[in-house]
Structure formats: C-alpha cells, structure tokens
Amino acid sequence: MVAASEGTGFGPTGTSHVDVKLMRFTPDGAVDTTFGTNGQSGFDVTTSRFDDIPNGLVATPDGQILVSAVSNVLQNRTQTSGQTLSIAKLTSNGTVTGRMLQVSSYSTSRAFLHVYPDGRVLTTYHTAGQSTGDLLLVRMTGIPLRTYRLRAVPFNFLLNSPFGLAGGTSDPTLFRPASNRWFAYPSAQSEPVGLPGDIVLSGDFRGDIAAERVAFRPSLGRWYIANGFLSNESQSLKVDWGLNGDIPVVGDFDGDLKADVTVFRPSDGFWYILGTSGPPAYIHWGITGDKPVAGDYDGDFIDDVAVWRPSDGNWYIIKSSDGQALITHFGLDGDVPVQDDYDADGKTDIAVWRPSTGIWYRLNSSDGAFSAIQWGIPTDKAVPGDYDGDSKADAAVFRPADKLWYILNSSNGTVSILTWGIDGDIPVQARN
C-alpha cells in the first residue's frame, strides 16, 4: 500500500489543494481494485480547505489502516492553526472511520506509527522550533471521527495576500470613495471595488478562510464580491440580489462555511437568502425600523436570522439549531448593536455600544455574565474585531476627526492606537 498527497484544484493558498491518497496493490504489483474506488481512497484528514501531506502508514492486526499526515491549518477564528500532526483511521476497504488533529505549535515531520495488541496507538515524530528540533511521543487509546468546522477571522483580508502581512487577526480596513480602493493596515492597497454610495462589507464568500471585499450597490441591487485582495471590480463575482432600500447582511445560513448573499427588506420584514448549498430562502422576521443582527447565537456553526428592535430594545433571534425564537431585552434606542464572539466560546454574544456615553454593554453567551466598558466618544464609529488574534472580539472605535483606531486588546487589556485613514474614508468594520 502507498500513501501520497494529491492536488485537488484551487485551494485557499492560491495553489492546488492537497489531500491524502491511498493506493493498494496486489502481490504481483497490480492495482487492487477491491480497495476504495478502483484501488484508490482519497480523503481530507482536516477539511477541504487545508493541505494534508501523509508521512506515516501502518496496518493494524485486524486489518484497519492508520495514516498520519502533516496538516497545514490556516489561521482561523479558533486557536487551532499552524502545522499539526493529523491521524486518520480507515477500514480494510478504504472507508474513513476516524480522524483527528494532534494540535502542536511546531512543524511536524517524519512520523512513525505503532499499534499495540490492545489497539492503542503510539506515534513519534520530529518537531522543529525556531532553532532546535525535538522528538515527541504521543500515545492514543483510539482515533475518534471528528469534524472540524473552522471559520474565518472577520476582516482578515490579508491572510492569502502577497503582502507578507498575513495573520489570524482582523485587519483595520478602509474604503476610500475618492479612489474606490480599499486600504488594509499597515500598508496594503487594493484595486478598486465599489463606488461612492455603495454599502461596503466583508465576509468569507469563497470559503477560503479569508475575508473578501464586497460592495452592495443599492441603485442596481447588485453585489460585487472580489476575488482576492488585489482583483478589481471587473474581476468580481456579480450577483443581482436585492432592491434599493434593502440592507445587505453577511452570514452563513446553510452551514457550508461560506457566507451567503443576503438582504433584509425593512419594507416587508423579509430576509432574502441566496444560499450556496441549496435553494433561496425567504424568511419573514422583522419590521420597519429593525436592524439585522445575524450571528451564530446557538453555536451550531450556522448563522441565525436575528433583528434588534430599537423601539423596544429587544433582540429577536430564530435559532437555527431548533427553529425556536429567542427574545432578549438588551439595549436602548440610540444604541449601536455590536454583536460578536467576545468570550471565544464559538457563539455570538449580544452586545451594544452606546454613543452617548461611549459604553460597551454585552452578555457573554458562555456564562451569561454582564459587562460594561467605557470605550469611545459620541462621534466615533464602533469597529469591533479580533485584532490581537485570541479568538475574542475586541472593543474598538475609529475616530474620523483624527483618523485614529483605538483598540482595547482582550488578550492582555493593553491599548493599541493606530493612525490609519484620511478624510472621507469609510471603515469597513463600522457598525454605525
């Protein structure tokens, strides 16, 4: 039996995506067509977004197959990233029955696998740090079948860009109507996408763990979704979905880890969702004056249709996990909804920013705890994002008067003050 890597088309790094391919041969060297499909079994150890390069193979006494691989997990909204050792288990006919990541902060290579008579698995592999190499031993009682659903860091435009600035953090980003270009801190400049009067937003519409530049043109009801940070509007995906007066919404409502083109229509209270993995959905949820606040409030990796009603301060959420309505009173008329994951539990937290006082109020979904932090002045723009890469959203504001970004880092409580912008720029992260 032979284990190898195989390219399977365009992947998140801009090159061929690589997964694991197994082939089994008969004793005389012919392909064993009883194995897998025509003698081959191809699969991803992690997800279709990341490269998996096999480096170890062993057959167990009962005929099962174990494969180890180096998986290159791009930085995402969790703390699982970098080169890690992955292990998969297959039946004798090539069906995957186990799959897991052995998280490591080092690169991994030259794995060795051994199976004890009782089924326990021992693996030893080389780990390389900055200047030293070590041998790591890991013993496992079994290989569970795990599914990894890793989401992009919001506003992480530069992850797959050629600027050399990639990281698992939100990038302070501006749209400049004077030139129709986008500018990501500290020095990246894009080709034009959008026009003055467009609504600019961002989401992972391609499923490549990076944010795309998106412009919604109300006059045409058209979406322009850029293909990478350097493409221009003529190279963008164009989708006619919406009417003048609609509010564009970013969310993954079908659970395929790609953002869906979606609008909320205040005039009739309907959500119009053009999913990437099914037929369009039309959901009546909201009234005139409501603000769409989509997010994954129940932690099922599917965004929930939700609105915040300034007139009564209530959040109205349809949980995608069970279809039940959740109504929570939080906020006052004049507040700005700033829902995000502030406690790194994989769920969206209900939160508002009050411009009159500059206070951020939030409810943690992990424990129900309430918090209030003063951060900003009435003329600021609320721009929450994960700027320090700890998987928690940070309270942040952009101050148009002095073109400064004031970021309160959740990882250590320090303050980052960034000069980024000129008169007329629009912060893409802005919630108000």
pLDDT, tens digit, 9 for 90 and up, residues 72-118: 777 777 767 777 778 889 999 989 998 887 655 455 556 678 888 88
Higher pLDDT, 39 or 325: 325
- Specify the pLDDT at position 347: 96
Specify the pLDDT at position 183.
Answer: 94
Q: How far is CA 254 from the centre of its chain?
A: 14
Q: Please write the tens of the pLDDT for every residue from 255-296.
A: 988 999 999 999 999 999 999 888 999 999 999 999 999 999
Taking residues 410-415, report their average pLDDT. 95
Share of the chain above pLDDT 70, in %: 88
> What are the DSSP E strand ranges found in 375-428?
381-382, 395-399, 404-408, 415-419, 426-427
Query: What pLDDT is attached to residue 86?
Result: 82
DSSP 124: E
The predicted-structure confidence for 127-175, as pLDDT tens digits, reads as follows: 655 455 566 667 777 788 877 777 888 888 876 554 444 567 899 999 9
Taking the model in full, what pTM does it have? 0.84
The CB-side HSE value for 361 (13 A sphere, CA atoms) comes to 13
Provide CB contacts within 8 A for 402, sequence distance 6+. none
For the residues of 43-77, what is the DSSP string, one character each? Answer: E-SS-TTSEEEEEEEEE-TTS-EEEEEEEEE---S
Positive or negative: CA dihedral 76, 253, 269, 330: negative
Identify the three-state secondary structure at position 5. Answer: strand
Kindly write down the DSSP assignment for every residue of 160-193, as one continuous string: TSTTS---SSPPPEEEETTTTEEEETTTEEPPP-
Q: How many CB atoms lie within 10 A of CB 21?
A: 18
Cα–Cα nearest to 335, from 291, 295, 304:
291
What is the average per-residue pLDDT within 410-423?
A: 96
pLDDT at residue number 233:
94
Mean pLDDT of the 50-67 span: 85
Residue that has been written with the tokens 């083109």 in this structure: 261
Please tell me whether residue 235 adopts helix, strand or coil conformation: helix
> What dihedral do alpha carbons 197, 202, 206, 208 form, nearest 10°?
150
- How many whole angstroms separate alpha carbon 300 and alpha carbon 293? 17
Which residue in this structure is represented by tokens 């990233």?
A: 81
pLDDT at 129: 54
